[in-house]
Amino acid sequence: MPELAELAGAELANIVPRDRHNISRQDISPSALKVLYRLESAGFASFLVGGSVRDLLLGKSPKDFDIATDASPDELKRLFRNSRIIGRRFKIVHIRFGREVIEVTTFRAHHEVSNEIGDHIPRRQIKGLDSAHSSDGLILRDNVYGSIDQDALRRDFTVNALYYTTNGFKVLDFSSGMEDLAAKQIRMIGDPATRYREDPVRMLRAIRFAAKLDFSIEASTAAPIEELGELLLSISPARLFDETLKLFSTGYSVKTFALLQESGLGQYVIAPTLEALPLCPKPAAKLVHLALENTDNRIAADKSVTPYFLFAALLWPVLRLRQEQAQLDPSQMRSSLLSMANAAIAEQLDFTAIPKRISYASREIWELQWKLEHRNRRNVRSTINHPRFRAAYDFLLLREAAGEDLNASGQWWTDFQFSDTNQQEEFLGNLPTQRRRRRKRGGQRKSQSGINSRNRGSRA
């Protein structure tokens, strides 16, 4: 087992001894402890790092445990049979214990940004290089191994760069992490503008952590965001989708939403929603707020949140606004729903990817709204057996809570679900056998798109 003093770079840390911090092994997942111990006994240095150390120091329970080590990915692979090397951007090793995955990364070094290699090579054409920057400073590949102090300084925020070792139970702080934790602030390591240029997603991360931890964003860390926000347009829609989901899964999504609006960053991830909110029918705007509150409550109660519900809610104002602008009469609402729903989703796709299975399910929630409102003897059973019924019913309740008058449909479905078979038959008997068709005479008005969709490169 190497001593800290033997680990290159460790001498640069401010070391917080066991009696000066509150981290206890009892709060660490047994799987993570196993990995730490096994690495130590094989002669490697290993540390808990990132969000887990930060959250433990704050007395919160971490959502996952990441480990940093001086063992290489191949050495890790040999040491842990239950491991797998993954990662396109970085090589990361996942060690699986049942349903839990411990993420282990080898200490990495930071790169100089004015790097000759990257200056002449267009993005996405770099093969076989281990480290490269594009001409605008964006990190493309990042697999240069380094010492622990270098590993610390390439992390984003000071509170995310604290290392905990079971070898002496110390916390190592290479920046001002402990101080910033105490001051409850998110502070970028190094020059904020440079670090945002390297990876613009760090701007969204600043907001996510500020909301989640109820921290402020330190002034010099916040300052460049307004000007550099548009760099997010260079980030792949797939990565922005992941990040957007994380933004709304912190358990503090109401606050995240407000920060996205305040900082101006919202226009790079949820622009269609933000543009529709002031123009759409009031209950649709209210629904977004209620859905976020609902999401936060669910996370507080340790329940899952489904991405398709989130997107159904976020894009509801967009859909509603489109419907309103198309001036449809009620009989046209249903036939045009599919194309309107697709259009609303397409607007979001200009900003973030949405995997098909998710956008499909969001659309199903919207489509089921019609059936939930327009019940007849035939469609009730198929509606209630639909795999998306539960989500659609929750959505219906939110719409009513947001002030839509849906003829007490929510109550009807609540009563129906909690009735026995005989009572249900009675409910069904009171319904019309068929949908009543009301057709207005006159031509269908052309749909007008009201929202300017923001063009993104080739998908304009």
What sign does the CA torsion over 29, 33, 36, 42 have? Answer: negative
Q: How far apart are CA 79 and CA 131, in angstroms?
A: 26
Which helix (H) or strand (E) segment is 380 a member of?
helix 379-384
Q: Report the alpha-carbon distance of residue 197 to residue 190 in Å, rounded.
A: 12
Q: What is the DSSP letter of 43?
A: T
Q: For ligand ATP, which stretch binds (CB under 6 A), given 18-26, 84-92, 152-160, 320-328?
A: 152-160
Buried b (16+ CB within 10 A) or exposed e, 89-122: eebbbbbeeeeebbbbbbbbbbbebebeebeebe
Smallest distance from Mg ion to CB 62, Å: 7
By CB under 5 A, residue 307 contacts Mg ion: no
405 annotated active-site: no
Distances (CA, A) of 227 to 175, 193, 255, 334: 26, 9, 22, 43
Residue 275: enclosing H or E segment and its boundaries? helix 271-276
Stretch near ligand ATP under the rule CB under 6 A, chosen from 58-66, 76-84, 344-352, 437-445: 58-66
- 147 with 13: CB under 8 angstroms? no
Q: Is 296 in the site for ligand ATP (CB under 6 A)?
A: no
* Span 261-280, contacts to Mg ion by CB under 5 A: none
**Sequence-ordered list of residues with C-beta below 8 angstroms from that of 262, at least 6 positions apart, any chain:** none
Size of the site for ligand ATP (CB under 6 A): 12
Q: Which of 62-70, 81-89, 252-260, 403-411 is the region at the interface with ligand ATP (rule: CB under 6 A)?
A: 62-70
Q: Which residue in 35, 161, 276, 368 binds ligand ATP (CB under 6 A)?
A: 161
Residue sitting closest to ligand ATP (CB): 51
Residues 394 to 423: which contact ligand ATP by CB under 6 A? none
- Name the minimum Å distance from CB 272 to ligand ATP: 25
66 is catalytic: yes
Window 36-95: residues binding Mg ion (CB under 5 A): 51, 64
Residue 4 structure tokens: 């800290």
Under rule CB under 6 A, residue 197 binds ligand ATP: no
Residue 51 in contact with ligand ATP, rule: CB under 6 A: yes
Indicate which of Mg ion, ligand ATP, none lies near residue 160 (CB less than 5 to 8 Å, by partner kind). Answer: ligand ATP
Is 156 among the catalytic positions?
Answer: yes
Binding status of residue 160 toward ligand ATP by CB under 6 A = yes
Q: Is residue 50 close enough to count as binding ligand ATP by CB under 6 A?
A: yes
One of 55, 149, 156, 394 is an active-site residue; which one?
A: 156
Nearest residue to 389 via CA among 422, 430, 426, 361: 361
Write out the residues near ligand ATP by the rule CB under 6 A. 50-51, 63-64, 66, 155-156, 160-161, 199, 201-202
